[in-house]
Structure 1
Amino acid sequence: MEVPRTVTLHGLPSCPLPEQTPLIDLEALGDFPAGGRSGEAPRSAGQRLLFPAETRSIVARTGDGAFQGLAEVDPSGDVDVLLWPLTRPCTLAAAPHYPAAGGGRAIAHHPRENVVLIAGGDAGQTSAVVGALTFRTDTGVAEPVDAAARHVLFEPRAHASAAPFGDDLIVTGGEDPLVPVERNRRVLENAEVFSVQAHKFLTELIELHTPRTRHRSVLLPSGEVLLIGGHDGDGQPLALLEAVSPMSRSSSLGGLANLEVGRIDPEVLSLEGGGFLVLGGFDAAGAPLPDAEWLSADASAHLGTSPIPAAAHVTAAPLPGGGALVVLGCVEPAPPGDDDCDGCGCEASSAALWLEPNLSVYPIEVPPVHRPWLIPAADGAPLLIDGGALIDGGVIGEGSGGEGSGGDRIWRRFNPWRVRFEPTNLPPLPPVRESPRGAEAPGDAPGDAPGDAPGDDLTDDAADGSGGVILERPLSLDPGAFLWIEETSRPRVRGLRTAVRHRFTRDLALLTLTHPEDAGWPLHLAPARPGAAVYGDRALELTEAPVWLTDVDFADVDLELRWEGSVPVVYLNREPFGDAERPWPGGSEGDPLRVERRGATVTLLRGGERLQYALGAPLGDLVGDPVGDLVGDLVGDLVGDPVANPLGYPTGYPTARVSVGFASGPGRAAGPTILRGIEVTRVVPGKDGRP
């Protein structure tokens, strides 16, 4: 069945669509098999088009592929799609009033509402300490929150943290930036809710259990917001975890684990398949902390600690299968009198690590950088950029400090098959020539209205070609797009799209397509750890460690494998099928293998025979969570239909979406496991049999 929907296409003001592009190619995607699900739409707004009823995302492209965009959509309603110039950075917002220089802003993306919120900041005696800005990821519109109508933050906040909160967003904790001396600042013990629909902060505050600043916030499967790390009003690092509920509008410590070590300004990752990784940060004396701590998906259990060195700057990105890539910047302090790093506090030095959920750690080489940022990206290949070092009062000349120090601000991509960082063809960031400090506008006190209209400076680069330091973590919007804030005298929000790959993408010709710059990199597949598989001759030799399909997940799905040697194991999330406990049915060597997932049932087929198994292990158990069934019917009720769940909550079996991986089978008596073909077919949920 097809349903009519109005589709409106948008471009970015700083990177508009070419005038000579009359038509845009559209592709409808969702949990249904591939077919004739594409067409063309005029550029003009408000086109009424027919889409399959099961459509859950729409990909739009210009004919030459230079502009691309995607939108995850609800089962009904109109659709807005923002087209970005592929691989070209664009300025998304550059209002003269907000954001202001100084960093310390809270930033969050609400995928279901298609909005990014930036709020507060360490902007001294300016109105930016209560200011806020939104950016619409579906239309490209950047809009300051109305200060004259007092729709901004109720209290000045710096170093707070933000996250989706039901249909809204929440900004938790922080400190009073109007006090110049940081150790004398009042730490806030409350949170403010931003209404997306009303485009304003609500007047009712939510009380937290304890004052908290310089912390991180992430979403739990229940929809609660988990607060991790930071310090309290006495400057003591917090090991206590705290959850804020959008239903009760209250916070709680109940049923949550503690960190082994309280961490100020930690790095926190939400891992693929559930769970969190907490690493980095500082103690009360400002010394960097070592090690990485693993938490279960509901944060009720501490699962263990991976040993990693301490570093003044830690950045991380999730990898397929629940692991993480970590880069440590400023590993060594700068020696006294170092002309290349006077004032930046460290040499351009770094180390990288690949972490597995079983607590294993693998070292990786990485070019030296001062302030590295890792950004999740498609194909299990995070991007690395040097956020820039501040020297001589905040001025960096071109080429200063050596490779990767700020004069060499090129994008590098992690190659999971070669286990190394490689240069990309993305445009480098401009060199940093000015300090983000001391840029406050004269007379701009809290409550003043801006003197210029927002968006007056939506240019791709500053007039002198200079760039800005990146103080805050870049924000991932989807596997192919992200944004960041460049600190200059007038900070700019910038964004970049590198791909339109996402959870509903259809993977065709797996094992035959390779990365355009590396024939040894099978597209859309990534190993769970270094050396997990060997790729060559369009075939994959597996080991006991899985190789994962990247970026995509599935409701009901069919898999068909062509193989030789020992039978493979298929992973649905981190649950194995075809191993010794849930073996394949009998058959002959080389018989095609087929897996059919239908809700809570997994059927293995081989040589005309079939065996059925339950898909029943709770997500937490798969990483050692002793608590038991961590997400069941209750969570499913809270988040609703998992097929139309853009936030991607791990809703538990039988309705959980699954990621897919492959590994060698038990014994290997028949020789190594070789995969020569992988066919993946999405099935409309609830439909029995082969589509």
Structure 2
Amino acid sequence: MFTLPGQALSLEASRASLELSALGDFEPSNESAEVLPADRAGATLRFPAQTQAVQARLAASGDRYAGYAERRSDSGLDLLLWPDRATAVLASSGYPGRRGGQALGFAPSSSTLVVAGGDDALKTEAIVGTLRWSATTGAAERGGVGAGGLNQPRAFATVTPFGDGFLVAGGQKPVDGVPEAELELHGTAELLGGSAELLPLQYTRTHHAAVALADGRTLLVGGRTKVGSVSVAQYQLELVDPKSLRASVGDAITPRIDPVVLTLSDGRLFVGGGTLLGGSLSTPVGEWLSADARLDSTPLSPEVPPRFDRGFVAMPGGGVLAVGGCEDRLPSSDADAEACQQCRTGCPPLDGWDAWWIASDGAADRVSLEGVSTPHPVLVAGSDGSPWLVASEPLSPDIPRLFRFDPWAVRFEPADGPSDLRLPRAGLPALSLAPDTFVWVDDVDVGGELLGLRLGARSRFTRDVALVLSSDPEDPERPAHLVPTRAPDERTTYDGGLTLADPELTVLVTDTDYADVRIALTVATSALPRVQLNGLALGGDDCPWPEGDARGGDAEQPTVVRRGARAQLRYHGARSAPCPVDDGRLTVGLVAGPRPSVVKQLEIFRDATAF
């Protein structure tokens, strides 16, 4: 067990009890929980052999800590305790430097964060420096000239997991006093910590975006490039293969400088935002790519207007949340000109700050931003389908505040937390490591800091009890750990029971996935909902609920049992023939059937009886 730098446990906390829970594809038992003194070393934990993750909690004198780690080998695991809702300094005193421009990338497989390069042209260690930070131990390792640093000075490059390491791609060479348009752009990439040999790219590019695809390749998106000495906005996608170490040209999309690229829960990619070379906004606001980076034909609703500095974050069910940003217009009066000063480009929208919930099919619903000012929002992923937003209140635009999205009310609400909580600032790099956990670079006088904040500990192996019956602890009008895949209307409601009447909307169990599983429903209507495993809805024509004649007890509970690539439906004492489902881990959701249904409780057990 480890603590963050500067966050060592107090004497009282070190003597407190550490609560440990074993998680995995099994039901809890006396063997899956341990309570130990926090300062006890070398303890043998008698957890089940199939334990796949461990969650830790510790509380003492008002201080609370939480940790979570997944098992990667038979040798055990390292677990890092984070302070609850308190900003932590992960690295300081030297690199990452000032003036932004750093590239951030995270590899979940190794729990390693990398920070590379930067725009502080007067400090060599800032423009070729690197930082590796372990999310399992909290240890930080810096690289510099001739010792683990970059082979070339790079600002506004990208970092992605690549094979067993990381790929740093593109960027520009910082030179103090030289206009950005005249800077040398990099048409190369390099393997961090690997060979000094540079990998040639097909194009130079800076201020671009990058993402690691499921097949291991890195996709480069947009940015500014040069044709000869002329700068242009890049429209050509580019893919870099870790096996061949070669770059190839992909599809053509809308030109975008400073775009955002997101990996969605349905496997596709969303590319949004950005500008053209002259500073005008790229349109359409966003577009989709397939999982292998081919252009997708999904059209985005024209209701979503383009904005400077708009934020984007992925939502469950393949959706996207687009928030805030400034309108491309000139001031209309002296008073308006003063209001426009809060924007880096453009002015506040004439009809108010806007946000949109974009569904997987491109349809969009407006999201309320009442009481929130969003000229340059910072959006980060959150659990329960509730991303976090760093913005401000209209009467105090210079004070950053933390808000959270409520998908059932389709609005942002102020989040609980200390009033002096340090938060990410607009224009500086920030990155989500996991839902509710994010890091960012802060531009301070001492030379830059890497900061982190953890706001929750929900995970893929979390055990949920009495779903639907249980409401959110902070909002009784919202069900705990359930989220609709698009903005709900009067056909999908919650009042202690979940009414389902919209067949186009799925209510998902958030953040978790399952191997063999048993799903039991308590339903208040004769009509039954459909149970969705990944994208397959069971209970419809292809795999209907059985028509038995038993009544009472467990026979009244519609139940789905999934083992491997088959699932069976059970109801009224009858059992369906096994239905084919996806192999591997599955998500769980509920969908309306032909007639409205009311679900009173949803129970999910991480086991499955034989067919």
Under a length normalisation based on structure 2, what TM-score does the superposition of the two structures give? 0.89
Kept in 1: contact 2:500–2:529 (CA 8 A): no
Q: Is the 8 A contact 1:163 1:171 kept in 2?
A: yes
1:470–1:484 contact (8 Å) kept in structure 2: no
Cross-structure match for 2:169: 172
Which SS does the other structure have where 1:305 is aligned? coil
Aligned to 2:559: 594
Matched, 1:126 2:123: yes
Q: Which amino acid aligns with 2:589?
A: G
**Closer/same/farther in 2, CA of residues 40 and 485 from structure 1, 3 Å limit:** same
CA distance in 2, matches of 1:548, 1:383: 19
8 Å contact from structure 1 (residues 280, 310) kept in 2: yes
Give, as a single letter, the amino acid of the residue that structure 1 aligns with 2:98: A
User: Which residue of structure 2 lines up, in the alignment, with residue 485 of structure 1?
Assistant: 441
The answer to whether the 8 A contact 1:370-1:405 is kept is no
- Amino acid of the residue matched to residue 203 of structure 2? T
Aligned position for 2:405 = 414
Shift of the alpha carbon at 1:680?
A: 0.6
Paired residue for 2:568, among 603, 606, 610?
A: 603
Q: Which residue of 2 aligns with 1:446?
A: none
2:579 to 599, 605, 613: 613
Aligned counterpart, 1:298: 292
- Distance in 2, matches of 1:237 and 1:130, equals 26
Matches within 5 A, 1:219-238: 219-234=212-227, 235-238=231-234
Structure 1 residue runs of 4 or more that deviate by more than 6 Å after TM superposition? none
Distance in 1 separating the partners of 2:531 and 2:514: 14
Q: Does the residue aligned with 2:181 lie in a helix, a strand or coil?
A: helix
- CA distance in 1 between counterparts of 2:225 and 2:599 reads 53
Per-residue CA deviations over 1:576-607 (Å, capped at 9, x if unaligned) read 22123332222469932221222222222223
1:663 is the counterpart of 2:587: no
Deviations 1:304-335 (A, max 9, x none): 23132111112111111111111031235562
Question: 1 CA distance for matches of 2:500 and 2:330?
Answer: 45
What residue in structure 2 maps to residue 427 of structure 1? 418
CA distance in 2, matches of 1:404, 1:385: 13
Structure 1 residue aligned with 2:86 = 88
Q: Structure 1 residue 547 and structure 2 residue 507: aligned?
A: yes
State the partner residue of 2:314.
318
Partner of 2:528: 567
Measured in 2, the distance between the counterparts of 1:480 and 1:252 equals 35
Amino acid at match of 1:611: A
Structure 1 CA distance for aligned equivalents of residues 198 and 395 of structure 2: 47
- Could you say what secondary structure the match of 1:20 adopts? helix
Indicate the SS of the match to 1:232: strand
Q: Which residue of 2 aligns with 1:113?
A: 110
Q: Shift in Å at residue 212 of structure 1?
A: 2.0
> Structure 1 regions of 5+ residues with no counterpart?
1-8, 195-199, 389-398, 431-460, 462-466, 616-652
Matched position secondary structure for 2:232: coil
Aligned-partner Cα distance in 2 for 1:304–1:677: 35
Asked if the contact 1:120/1:156 (under 8 Å) is kept, the reply is: yes
Per-residue CA deviations over 1:466-501 (Å, capped at 9, x if unaligned) read: x87332352111123111122233322211111110
Equivalent in 3, 18, 23 of residue 11 of structure 1: 3
Alignment CA distance shift 1:344-1:294 (3 Å): closer
Q: Where in structure 2 are the equivalents of 1:325-404 lying within 5 Å?
A: 325-331=321-327, 333=329, 335=331, 338-339=337-338, 341-342=340-341, 344-347=344-347, 350-366=353-369, 367-386=372-391, 402-403=394-395
Q: Measure how far apart 1:210 and its partner are.
A: 1.9
* Alpha-carbon offset, residue 162 of structure 1: 0.9
Given that 2:68 and 2:79 are in contact with CA atoms closer than 8 Å, whether structure 1 keeps it comes out as: yes
The answer to whether the 8 Å contact 1:134/1:144 transfers is yes
Measure, in 2, the Cα distance between the counterparts of 1:228 and 1:202: 25
**1:69 is matched with which residue: 42, 45, 67?**
67
The sequence identity of aligned pairs, in percent, is: 33
Q: Which whole-Å CA distance do the structure 1 matches of 2:424 and 2:496 have between them?
A: 45
| Matching residue's letter, 1:202 | S
Deviation track 1:423-461 (CA, whole Å, cap 9, x = no partner) reads: 01123467xxxxxxxxxxxxxxxxxxxxxxxxxxxxxx7
Residues 471 and 496 in structure 2, CA contact (< 8 A), matched pair in contact too? no
Moved more, 581-590 or 37-46: 581-590
Partner of 2:597: 673
Would the aligned equivalents of 1:172 and 1:191 in 2 still touch at CA under 8 Å? yes
**1:218 equivalent in alignment to 2:225:** no
Q: Distance in 2 between matches of 1:662 and 1:106?
A: 39
Question: Aligned pair 1:578/2:543, yes or no?
Answer: no
Q: Distance in 2 between matches of 1:229 and 1:148?
A: 29
- TM-score, normalised by the number of residues in structure 1: 0.79
1:39 aligned partner: 34
> Is this contact kept in 1: 2:530–2:590, CA < 8 A?
yes
Deviation at 1:111, TM superposition (A): 1.4
Distance 2:417 2:346 in 1: 27
Shift of 1:297: 1.7
Aligned position for 1:54: 50
Measured in 2, the distance between the counterparts of 1:32 and 1:75 equals 18
The equivalent position to 1:185 in structure 2, one of 163, 183, 186, is 183
Between the aligned partners of 1:470 and 1:16, the Cα distance in structure 2 is 30
SS at match of 2:45: strand
Task: Number of aligned residue pairs: give it.
Answer: 578
State the partner residue of 1:626. none
Label 1:139 to 1:425 Cα distance change in 2 as closer, same or farther (>3 A): same
* Displacement after TM superposition at 1:380 (Å): 0.6
Deviation by residue 1:11-47 (Cα, 9 ceiling, x = unmatched): 1223332321323111111122232311024434444
Q: Which amino acid aligns with 2:354?
A: A
Q: Contact conserved, 2:100 with 2:427, CA < 8 A, in 1?
A: yes
| AA in 2 matched with 1:603 | Q
Aligned to 2:172, the other structure's residue is in SS state coil
In 1, are the aligned partners of 2:544 and 2:576 still within 8 Å (CA)?
no
Q: Does 1:494 align with 2:494?
A: no
Q: Which one of the candidate residues 565, 579, 583 is aligned to 1:654?
A: 583
For 1:689, the equivalent position in structure 2 comes to: 610
Are 1:508 and 2:500 matched, yes or no?
Answer: no
User: How far is the alpha carbon of 1:87 from its aligned partner?
Assistant: 1.1
Report the more deviating stretch, 271-280 or 596-605: 596-605
Among 4, 12, 20, which residue is 2:12 paired with? 20
Give RMSD over aligned pairs: 2.3
Q: Distance in 1 between matches of 2:91 and 2:535?
A: 40
Cα drift, residue 574 of structure 1:
2.0
CA contact (8 A) 2:101 2:429 kept: no
Q: Tell me if structure 2 keeps the 8 A contact 1:368–1:404.
A: no
In structure 2, give the amino acid aligned to 1:139. Answer: T
The one-letter code of the counterpart of 2:364 is V
Work out the CA distance in 1 between the residues paired with 2:344 and 2:498: 48
Q: Partners of 1:242 and 1:51 in 2: how far apart? A: 46
Counterpart contact for 2:255–2:282, Cα < 8 Å: no
Contact 1:192 1:205 (C-alpha < 8 Å) held by counterparts: yes
Aligned partner of 2:406: which letter? N
Residue 196 of structure 2 corresponds to residue 203 of structure 1: yes
**Change beyond 3 A, Cα 1:33–1:674:** same
Give the 3 Å change call, closer, same or farther, for CA 75–594 of structure 1 in structure 2.
farther
Q: Is contact 1:321-1:574 (8 Å) kept?
A: no
What whole-Å deviation, never above 9, does each CA across 1:88-139 have from its counterpart, x for those lacking one? 11222222x2111111111011112121111101112321111111221111
Q: Which whole-Å deviations, capped at 9, do the CAs of 1:50-87 have from their partners, x for residues lacking one? A: 33222221111114681101011214123211111111
CA contact (8 A) 2:97 2:449 kept: no
